[in-house]
Amino acid sequence: MAVLKPFRGLRPVQELASQVVSPPYDVLDSEEARKITDNNKYSFLRVTKSEVDLPENIDVHSPVVYEKAAENLQKFIGDRILVQDEKPCFYIYKQKMGDHTQVGLVAAASVNEYQNNIIKKHELTRPDKEQDRVDHITATEAQTGAVFLTYKAEQTLNELIEECMNQAPVYDFTTEDGISHTLYVVAEDKKIQVIENAFAKIDFLYIADGHHRSAAAGRVADLCREKNANHTGNEEYNTFLTVIFPHDMMYIMDYNRVVTDLNGLSPNEFIEKVAEKFDIAESPSGAVKPNDLHTFGMYIDNTWYQLTAKPGTFTEDNPVEVLDVSILQNNLLNPILAIQDPRTDKRINFVGGIRGMAELERLVNSKKYAVAFSMYATSIEQLMDIADAGQIMPPKSTWFEPKLRDAMVVHLTPLIK
């Protein structure tokens, strides 16, 4: 069963909401964050990327950065830029990007269910990124960014969520990227109970995005339990901030690859080796954005090629091996370019599909990278199949859009120190 709880959300006051909410901390670097905060004193990036208020050469993982995050959060609260709701609530978060609309429930999910795999995972975490989130939660005593969860769509829940939007929203604005964000508060006890009961019938939830945030919340909860002689299980640190969407509203874009060099090969030698496992055709019409499984675009030496995996180069009945990211890794990136672990190898980088094929061309043409690969997007069904099988996806397999904005709702989690 899926245990979801309402909580007393910390939210921007209505008139400042569009200025406060910010892109998630992990899609911006410090320089990009500084450009935003230079023109916006209310941006929540002052909490999630608090190095913007410190010298430019600061180590972003130093204690002073987390201390500044806590200081800035308290200032936002003290100045009543952020105000906590009087009672525990659920929230409905609706986003619209072009023709795509997704509507999710903002709730506090159970750390126990995460640790017992009722909330299923599909990625490994990196220790440094996980520790960063632990340090941020510990310093601020808050979960400032939501974990993106999904579940197998169920009509009763769709109708319940729809009913909760038969009221005026507390926020309704469009951000600079053209994406609209709308938030409804569900404060009625009866509706809250009905939603809790309905989700209790859902067998599993799946992490779509936010493995580091959820893992960090679990670690912080474990530390608090150890220190709390009066632990009851009802403390806020036993839950973590989530937005939960039905799987058929998920929009996954391609997550593309760029590599710095050809591992000592000339372009012709490289292409000859690629042809051993892939059918190769030069594209007469420019950029190749794959339209089918097991096809890839490759940009090298000012030329686009379409690659198609040859039969027998992957295992059809293995949910991980059949992924296009696995096929590229196992047949090209590893054996030809010697990229054994894309999680740690500094020669490879990843480009979200939202940036388009032109960004891949730009990176290669700049000579910073030697070759780029465009991918066909992983499906949400593939993600859930892998999670159900207890297996792990290769890193950077999915790029979800639209991104959840930080500070639509913040979850305060007083700790035991």
- Same domain membership, residue 342 and residue 331: yes
Note whether residue 188 is domain-resident. Answer: yes
Q: Which two tokens stand for residue 276?
A: 């051993």
3-state secondary structure of 339: coil
Output the pLDDT for position 382.
93
Judge if 169 and 227 occupy the same domain: yes
pLDDT in tens, 240-288: 999 999 999 999 999 999 999 999 999 999 999 999 999 999 999 999 9
Match 């974990």 to its residue by tokens. Answer: 147
pLDDT of residue 395: 82
| Per-residue pLDDT, 298 | 98
Q: Do 208 and 275 fall into the same domain?
A: no
In this structure, are 220 and 261 located in the same domain? no
- Give long-range contacts, CB 8 A cutoff, 24+ apart: 279-287: 279/307, 279/308, 279/310, 280/305, 280/306, 280/307, 281/305, 281/306, 281/308, 287/357, 287/358, 287/360, 287/361, 287/374
Domain tally, the chain:
2
The torsion region of residue 367 among left (phi > 0), alpha (psi -120 to 50) and beta comes to left
Query: Is 396 domain-assigned?
Result: no
The CATH code of the domain that includes 309 is: 3.30.1760
- Give pLDDT, residue 41: 96
Question: At which residue do the structure tokens 């009087």 appear?
Answer: 86
Q: Are residues 262 and 121 in the same domain?
A: no
Same domain membership, residue 259 and residue 190: no
**pLDDT of amino acid 125:** 86
E strands along 286-325, which residues? 295-300, 303-309
The end-to-end CA distance of the chain, in Å, is 31
Confidence label for 126 from pLDDT (cuts 50, 70 and 90): confident
Together in a domain, 233 and 296? no
Q: Would you say residue 142 lies in a domain?
A: yes
Task: For residue 113, tell me if it sits in a domain.
Answer: yes
Share of the chain above pLDDT 70, in %: 100
Residues 19 and 167 in one domain: yes
Look at residue 417 and tell me whether its pLDDT is greater than 70. Answer: no
Q: Is residue 148 over pLDDT 90?
A: yes
Residue pair 352/286 in contact (Cβ under 8 Å)? The answer is no
pLDDT value, residue 140: 98
**Arithmetic mean of pLDDT over the chain:** 95
Judged against a pLDDT cut of 80, whether residue 1 lies above it is answered with no
Give the lowest-confidence range in 40-49, 59-68, 313-322: 313-322
Instruction: Give the 3-state secondary structure of 3-38.
Output: CEECECCEEECHHHHHHHCECCHHHCCHHHHHHHHH
Q: What is the pTM of this model?
A: 0.90
Judge if 242 and 258 occupy the same domain: no
pLDDT band at 62 (very low <50, low <70, confident <90, very high): very high
- Whether 41 and 144 share a structural domain: yes
Q: Are residues 225 and 266 in the same domain?
A: no
d(CA 75, CA 289): 46
What does residue 115 show for φ and ψ, rounded to 5 degrees?
-70, -25
| Residue 417 is assigned to a structural domain of this protein | no
**Same-domain pairing of 247 and 270:** no
Q: Which domain holds residue 224?
A: 4-251+401-412
pLDDT average, residue stretch 328-356: 94
CA gap 366, 369 in Å, rounded: 7
